[in-house]
Homo-oligomer: A and B are copies of this chain.
Amino acid sequence: MMEAQQSVPEESAHPVPAPPRRERVFLQKSSVCSRSYFMVVMVFFHVYIINVIALLLYVHYNNGQGELGGARGGENSGRAPFDPPPHQGPEPRSRSERLMYLPRIEGIRVGHVQKVSLVPDRLHEMRTLSLKPLLFEIPGFLSEEECRLVVQLAQLKGLTESQVMVPEGQEELAEQLDLSPEEIFNLLDLNQDGQLQLQEILTQSRVRDGIWLTPENLREIYTGLKADPDGDGLLSLAEFKQLSSNAFQRFLQQRGVQSSQLVRNSRHTWLYQGEGAHHVLRELQKRVTRLTRLPPQLVELSEPLQVVRYEQGGHYHAHHDSGPVYPETACTHTRLAANSSTPFETSCRYITVLFYLNSVEGGGETTFPVADNRTYEEMSLIQNDVDLLDTRKNCDKGNLRVTPTKGTAVLWYNYLSDGKGWVGELDEYSLHGGCVVTRGTKWIANNWINVDPDYERQVRYQQLVSQAHSTASERSKPNADPHGDAHQDL
């Protein structure tokens, strides 16, 4: 505009009296002139507006920022959480199809340190602990004061046992599925060798019953039930058929189960972080959004903060925070948007952010027994002499252990990328557990970022929530948190 005011065009610089040529312009075109100029102005004006809108739309969609993700998040606005990754495949999805992308933090190599901006006036250091899973440690993520407050809020709310002794509903489910003994045997026989190894029974019983049997326990049960007459530690189909479906459970109930024999031995509670929550919890959520660089709405629609207390002797045997992705898998958090019901439901926790709320006096490390292993073999995790899943016995034999330090956060991805900017397969290397606390108490908190591996379902869910939000915007508490108190504790 400066230019327009200062530049001197040739023709209009002629002084008046005007020459004949000008006369014509003045006399004949006075009214026509104004109209035609008006027309020109309007045409330019419209073209201008249309072009600006078109370009804004282009910029908007070029950045992959659609209506789904909400506002650009946080300080890292140079490149936003919505930027799609470079296309891997030859068939890039059209922009209108995919408006939301999940950037992943680069690990580079074990030991790599990068600076991250999470709070004003300070940079945090983020160290890569492993690439499989993609795992980072951020010391000083929480201040001492914030740790203290989160623990107090949890105590105020009250904690409940993380696992009850005997799970219910298993028998009904088994009856519902109506499987023959042969079919069950086949499902249990992971390596399909026609026999059930100790590992196969253990893997199953731990997941199903939540009771942490050791190989010795199992041999003892075999003896008690006379289940393995030939004593080779293997169950043939014939031997398996002799057992009733809940023989193990009934045996264990008679014998009695201690909390140290459970998969997890802790108490926990959930703290809501949405609108109206304590400002420290709100701030924590914002910090997690900045750390993960994910669309803020994704973080806001995830599970509340889980605060966990392990007493002396507490543990959590090695497990995955989320389940594998099958075509029929449904996610707990997007249940609203599911078209059909399915018996396979998992919590779809894309990322785990674990906070240490105190420094533990003894034990209580977080172990990643197979981190950065070259291969992952489920069967070989449980050997007769060393059961790598057992965090009461074999934490020292795992590949990686993180010592709990007050205020430190660790972050890892439970799923791989699908190579197109979305969630792919479960990362089996994300197997982890809480080592037994040998002295003192251990306080941690977990933030799980829930993402549905089914992109369309996640989008549908977010649309449903934002609709519910806008229709319920007058009410005191918007229906943005569909989790309530029902969480799948994996």
A: residues with CB less than 8 A from B are 1, 3-10, 12-13, 15-16, 25-26, 29-31, 33-35, 37-38, 40-48, 50-52, 55-56, 58-59, 62-63, 75-76, 78-81, 83-92, 103, 105-106, 108-109, 112, 114-117, 123, 131-132, 293, 372-374, 399, 416-419, 424-425, 427
Contact = CB atoms under 8 A, between A and B. Distances in A.
26 contacts: A1-B43, A3-B4, A4-B46, A6-B9, A8-B9, A9-B12, A16-B16, A30-B30, A33-B33, A34-B37, A44-B48, A55-B56, A76-B86, A76-B90, A76-B92, A78-B87, A80-B86, A81-B86, A83-B83, A86-B103, A90-B123, A91-B115, A108-B416, A108-B418, A109-B416, A109-B425
A200 B440 CA distance: 47
A306 B112 CA distance: 34
Contacts of A7: 3-4, 7, 9
Given A4-B7, A4-B42, A37-B40, 10 more contacts: A12-B12, A16-B16, A33-B34, A37-B38, A48-B51, A52-B55, A59-B59, A85-B106, A89-B115, A108-B424
Contact of A48 (B37, B48, B81): B48
B87 A106 contact: no
Contacts of A373: 374
Contacts of A34: 25, 29-30, 33-34, 37
Number of copies: 2
Contact of A78 (B15, B45, B92, B424): B92
A59 B48 contact: no
Sort A-B residue pairs by CB-CB distance and give the 8 closest, nearest first. A90-B117, A37-B37, A78-B92, A30-B30, A55-B55, A48-B48, A86-B103, A33-B34
Given A4-B43, A5-B9, A132-B131, A87 B92 contact: no
Contacts of A50: 1
Nearest to A123: B90
B1 A8 contact: no
Contacts of A85: 79, 106
A401 to B, nearest CB: 14
Nearest to A2: B46
Given A7-B3, A7-B4, A117-B90, A417 B106 contact: yes
Contact of A44 (B29, B44, B83): B44
Contact of A63 (B62, B293, B417): B62
Contacts of A26: 30-31
Contacts of A425: 109
A89 B79 CA distance: 11
A31 to B, nearest CB: 6
Contact of A62 (B37, B47, B62): B62
B1 A12 contact: no
A37 B41 contact: yes
Contact of A114 (B1, B16, B374, B419): B419
Contacts of A79: 84-87, 92
Contacts of A43: 1, 4
A462 to B, nearest CB: 21
Contacts of A62: 59, 62-63
Contacts of A9: 4-9, 12
Nearest to A30: B30
A410 B37 CA distance: 65
Contact of A116 (B40, B90, B293): B90
Contacts of A44: 41, 44-45, 48
A169 B33 CA distance: 85
A352 to B, nearest CB: 19
A419 B76 contact: no
A109 B413 CA distance: 13
A117 B41 CA distance: 47
